[in-house]
Amino acid sequence: MTAKLGPVSMADRKAIIDIFNHYAQTNPAAFSDRPLPYESFETVLSKCKGFPTVTAKNEQGKVIGFGFLHAYNSFPVFSGTAEISYFITSQWTGRGIGTMMLDYLCRKAKAKGIETILASISSLNEQSLRFHQRRGFRQCGCFSRVGRKGDTHFNIIYMQKFL
């Protein structure tokens, strides 16, 4: 089964926040340790202004994943670099949806003149680290013990892909 990809819209707000909140409460993939209110969607979307976004929807039109790029740094000298973030409902992981969304975002980014994609990944999220490595990202840095969820400290692994 394949997913239909398209840009994020306001109509996707509840589904996107629900997906993110699942990870915030259960997984090191989301850096938040508490649920985000639905009202925070506008703030998240404003960070992505001018950058590609994506939703993956199943055959019934239900959002099963989302992703976006945002500025790595607001100074103009970094305009060719963006940071990526994306999440997929747990029932749909391992089915190629992440690869589809990554490819979609990379194509859109390249068309906008973005040359470098960065990913900030929790050291506890081994699945994401492997996913990115298999898709051409390379580790380019690590900040040790900068995050903590509950009683568990974690590193942030920085990965980079040139488009």
Residue 148 has pLDDT above 80, yes or no: yes
Residue 130 has pLDDT above 70, yes or no: yes
Could you tell me the residue range of the domain that residue 56 belongs to? 4-120
Asked whether residue 9 is domain-assigned, the answer is yes
Residue 128 has pLDDT above 80, yes or no: yes
**CB neighbour list of residue 136: distance below 8 Å, 6 or more residues apart:** 161
Arithmetic mean of pLDDT over the chain: 95
Asked whether residue 160 is domain-assigned, the answer is no
Asked whether residue 21 is domain-assigned, the answer is yes
What pLDDT does residue 33 have? 86
Q: How far apart are CA 4 and CA 41, in angstroms?
A: 22
Asked whether residue 67 is domain-assigned, the answer is yes
pTM of the model: 0.93
Asked whether residue 135 is domain-assigned, the answer is no
What pLDDT does residue 28 have? 82
Asked whether residue 132 is domain-assigned, the answer is no
Asked whether residue 161 is domain-assigned, the answer is no
C-alpha count within 13 angstroms, C-beta hemisphere, residue 149: 19
Asked whether residue 144 is domain-assigned, the answer is no
Total of domains in the chain: 1
Q: Is 8 helix (H, G, I), strand (E, B) or coil?
A: coil
What pLDDT does residue 1 have? 61
Q: How far apart are CA 70 and CA 44, in angstroms?
A: 10
Of all residues in the chain, the percent with pLDDT exceeding 70 is 99
Residue 29: how many CB atoms within 10 A of its CB? 19
pLDDT in tens, 16-65: 999 999 999 988 889 998 999 999 999 989 999 999 999 999 999 999 99
What pLDDT does residue 8 have? 97
Which CATH number covers residue 86? 3.40.630.30
pLDDT in tens, 64-85: 999 999 999 999 999 999 999 9
What pLDDT does residue 115 have? 98
